[in-house]
Amino acid sequence: MKIISFNVNGIRAILQKDFIRDFIDLDADIFFLQESKFSEDMHLDFPFMPKGYQTYWTVSKLRKGYSGVAVFTKKAPLRVHYGLEEEKYDDEGRIITLEYEDFYFVGAYVPNSGDGLKRMDFRLQFEDDLLAYLDKLNAKKPVIYAGDLNVAHQEIDIKNPQNNHQNAGFTDAERERFTRLLSHGYKDTFRELYPTTIKYSWWSYRFNARANNAGWRIDYFVVSERIMDKVKDSVIHNQIYGSDHCPIELDIDL
């Protein structure tokens, strides 16, 4: 089974580029998309609904053109859930859960702490609530957790760790939350398979960052520890353009 996660930084914008070609070429069983910036009042349907896939999406109810996630799946899930328990955080359009017979897929667009870390408290509370939610699911069946998690966990995951220390996405608090997540019985699939490989999944649009490969690895596939042995590969497709992020891929035998 192949799963793709991609922060597209605007579904309408990327549809004007090579996204459809890349979507077809990647041929995922599950394709999770973040930061759609889609508002339901603009159209009745999501602007991209590929044939052969079930399409599910959620949007921000707070701000138009903000956040938003969608998932395309070849196999219909048993259930689809938006937000966390009791749909918490779904007003920001950040989380979709698909339940299958043998696993849960949880796709998330984790909040950025923002300029001046003005949303840090909200971000950390989100992480606490998300971990509690993942643990409840994981007690029932294994979890695949994916998305733009907005944190570079280790110094190897960021081009300039010293210059970015305590900036949003590389604060001690955010990194500690990711460490704590892993301590609850989860694995960062890319780092497990490639402990010394330097590869990034996001680059600023400023200062020719992508051309200079001055990036961050902030997009992840995290899986329950008990299914890590089922993971065949975890790939960062940094040759694919169209967004300030690139797609990541999980190949898993479930």
Catalytic one of 56, 89, 104, 109:
109
Active site residue 148: yes
Report which secondary-structure segment, H or E, holds 108.
strand 104-109
Strands 104-109 and 95-99: antiparallel
CB atoms inside a 10 Å sphere around CB 144: 27
Q: Which of 128, 68, 87, 80 is nearest to 106 (CA)?
A: 80
Please enumerate in sequence order all residues whose Cβ is within 8 A of that of 122, keeping only pairs 6 or more positions apart, or say none.
Answer: 111
The owner of tokens 């998932």 is: 71
Phi, psi of 128 (to 5 degrees): -65, -45
Active site residue 172: no
Catalytic one of 148, 157, 188, 219:
148
Q: Which residues are catalytic?
A: 109, 148
